[in-house]
Amino acid sequence: MQSTLRSQEAVQQQPPPLHVAIIMDGNGRWAAARRLPREAGHRAGVVALRKVIEAAPELGVTTLSTYAFSQDNWRRPAEEVSALMALLRGYLATEIDRLADAGVRLRVLGRRDRLPDGIADLIGRAETATAGGTRLDLRIAIDYSGRGAILAAVSTVAAGAATCEDVSRQLEQHGGGPGVDLLIRTSGEQRLSDFLLWEAAYAELYFVETFWPDFDGTALARALDAFRTRERRFGGAGRGAKTAEKQPPRSLVRHIRTLLAWSAR
């Protein structure tokens, strides 16, 4: 009996899961300010990512989602895209043992069929090598589109009278993860840029002027301190207010299908 009570108390004392998403922006401007090539900014961004990954579990973060390369980034100059893909290849080759030793599980979001030869295989091997990690769930979005992820999930469940929960489950099965608690964007820009649009529906937003290569564990701690001062109401009336009886969710997918049908006319 006492053992059961101790187990229950231990569970109750565990902090709740915390999902932080980061739009890692400003590598190019960081490099330009130092009269360096853009590739140097991207290399410095990899170092910043390592620092944030190391700090995140100590700060209570259980899931860290990062935006490395969007679907729209293919529009960048071919030379820059090639450099980014070379950095990705190098990261997968050199960082995986470090992640596995630190208890970090890596998952990659986004399409893999358009990546250069060999990178999809490297991703698969990295995900397998780190699958046992329980300290931090790291998700890196590459060739990713939030709208594309939602449409893919909707197309899977659209045959029935699907609910928001159905779409959420489909997104999680494809690596989308739980709802985002805090979404950070560096470099002073204030937009989501098609990143985790569904998962970030109730995320707290935190915009900082710092370019990504200068963002580190201390900067992450400041963002989390600001986050923890906010009251999250999720559409409710706040602390102390009488809550209404929960209503069943409406079929969001049905409305999306209707809108898609109208747009096709």
* pLDDT tens-digit map of 7-48: 455 445 567 899 999 999 999 999 999 999 999 999 999 999
Which candidate in 73, 194, 214, 216 is catalytic? 73
- As a whole number of angstroms, the distance between CA 135 and CA 168 comes to 23
Q: How far apart are the first and last CA of the chain?
A: 66
Residue-level pLDDT at 124: 96
Q: Alpha helix (H) ranges present in the chain? A: 2-13, 27-33, 38-55, 78-94, 96-101, 119-129, 146-157, 164-173, 217-227, 252-263
pLDDT bin (cut points 50, 70, 90) of residue 249 is: very low
pLDDT at residue 201 tops 70: yes
| Residue 166 in this model has a pLDDT that exceeds 50 | yes
Indicate if the alpha-carbon torsion angle 40, 44, 49, 54 is positive or negative: positive
Please give the model's pTM, rounded to 2 decimal places: 0.81
How much of the chain, in percent, has pLDDT values that exceed 70? 76
Task: Provide the residue ranges of all domains of the chain, joining segments of one domain with +.
Answer: 15-230+249-263
Give backbone dihedrals phi and psi of 71, rounded to 5 degrees, phi first.
-60, -35
* 225 is known as an active-site residue: no
Chosen CATH of 15-230+249-263 out of 3.40.50.620, 3.40.1180.10, 3.40.50.9100, 3.30.70.141: 3.40.1180.10
Is residue 73 part of the annotated active site? The answer reads yes
